[in-house]
Structure 1
Amino acid sequence: MASSETALAAGQRARGLAPFLRSQMRNIAPFLTLIFLSGFFALASPSFATLDNLGNILTQVSVTGIIAVGLTFVILCAEIDLSIASIANVTGIAVAYFTLQDSYVNIANIPLPGVVAILLSILLCALLGLVNALGLTVIGIPSFIMTLAMMQIAAGVSALLVRGQIAYKVPSLITTLGSGSIGGVPWLVIVAALMLLGGHLVLTYTRFGRYVYMVGGNREAAEYSGLNVKLILGAVMVISAVCSGIGGMLGVAHFGSAQQNEFDTYLLDSIAAVVVGGTSLFGGRGGIGNTIVGLFVLGVLNNGLDHVNIDSFLKILIRGLILLLALVINVYAQRLREKAVE
């Protein structure tokens, strides 16, 4: 009798565990992927599992992480921003352009032009984000199309500013944050960590963060509850643009120059970081914690492939397959969620 009751209890626990695992698949799969990749590359290359290489990985994903903070807000609202890389590029070029234009101005040996260049550049990326917001919320253009157009607009502005040249001079503050370090820790990593932490705190502990999840989870219900959905959507588009701009400015300092098409690869990397980490493309599920896991998955994958003897063209294929797998899990998890609701 006791054995049958024990078996029944075990069966109930197993049945209870299965739905839990299905509901958490979007969170569990990226973490298991990270563990698997880390273990594989640690065995494949002795130079991978070192503190120095961990520092390399953190530095390599920092710019992507800064851009991905804003993109996480957008995707949580079930929208997309395809202009992030172009806005990062134009902001990085703009801060170099404004620095060169005003470098001859100096009052009492105080480098005001550097501060002005930074403020003008942030204003520029915020303005581009505002245009995205107005197109989405006022005109009603789908975010995919609106940000696709903005991608071309920002690329055009970049071309006008740089005119095929390469700029090297940026404000000293940007140079320090982009390429300097403190106590052996790059400032770029610190800034990325602070922005990720700030994004997490906003999404988790503020009213605005709750509104973001409400809009992404059920937009109609959010509207019926009296929430200004258009204001939230507009705000996340501006946040995305500003985060991209900050990443662009620091990225230019990290790379050592500002030039056209410098950030093109960051579009896929940023989207992949958010999606691979487990944030739902359908909105309302995920967050900065998922984005951090996604960043590490991409960082470990890209860095690990450089440590093993593998065809460089095959690396691109592997990254694409990882992203495809993440998309499949994302869509499948959404279907499971819909079935559970039914």
Structure 2
Amino acid sequence: MANVARIKLGQGLEVSKQGLGCAAMTGSYGPPKPESEMIELIRHAINSAGVTFLDTSDAYGPYHNEILVGKALKGGGMREKVEIATKFGISKNEKWELEINGRPEYVRASCEASLKRLDVDCIDLYYAHRIDTRVPIEVTMGELKKLVEEGKIKYIGLSEASASTIRRAHAVHPITAVQNEWSLWARDIEEELVPTCRELGIGIVPYSPLGRGFFSSGPNVAQNLLDNDIRKIHPRFQGKNLENNTVVYERVAEMATRKGCTPSQLALAWLHHQGDDVCPIPGTTKIPNLNQNIGALSVKLTREEMNELCSLADLVKGDRHPLMSTTWIQADTPPLSSWQG
């Protein structure tokens, strides 16, 4: 097995320094991939590449992604080798519209369903996938704390929570990790969220660390996207924004050439150099790409190179998410005193 360094998230969860995002294996960026190939990929990540931190969610598929991960971990002592992170909170209402749910009964039902799909006794890291702005975070955290006490989950995480929400949640039970989009073109967490996490001793798990494939495939990734590829509605892949952002990619590719690495390795290395409390979770559906991503751990950057890469943020055009104005991005919740159940 490859000797991938280990880091600690929060006060106790030890994971591989780079994780594996599993979402694309069952959809999101085009159609689901063949199950047997994805099982092979996950097992290769663990046994050959040294990646043990697997990221999934009940929303991916939906549901099929957790089932896939569960199947990949069957036999050979695989479960004992990994740290499983999954999530709850994104559901569909009776109109099949996406909504966020942080009510305690939903938290519990979601956890128990995820345990069955993954076919495990305990989830290592359980995130609130998004923050329900109708439910005080203390109420959601209260149920998560009970699940920890019952041994159904080990650690609690939040995704796309505001700094104030993180503080309130942490006061109920320690938060182990915060998952947010963070990459060369998604930098909004640096002003407030990163300092808050470091003050509280919370690990940081960047999702979409390759700009949803932009820094691995370049602007060509936006060509001929299928209708079921969520990038079709992302502002940074559209029209003039894409033309402008192509310049950003070219600058990254130019430095990568100088460094003797790939643009994706450079983008991941930039995140690894942010600190030992940072664990990016690049996703892929191909073993060669996974191996390439692991190579980022060997790329060393000088302070000048880091500064050069940081400066590219000023050139990026377009919101990082099509739902920036909704509850999906760094959300707050009402005060506990307002809760009536």
| TM tier relative to shorter chain | under 0.3
TM-score by length of 2: 0.25
Structure index of larger Rg: 1
Q: Which is richer in strand? A: 2
Q: Which is richer in helix? A: 1
Q: Indicate the structure whose relative CO is greater, using CA pairs within 8 Å and at least 6 residues apart.
A: 1
TM-score by length of 1: 0.25
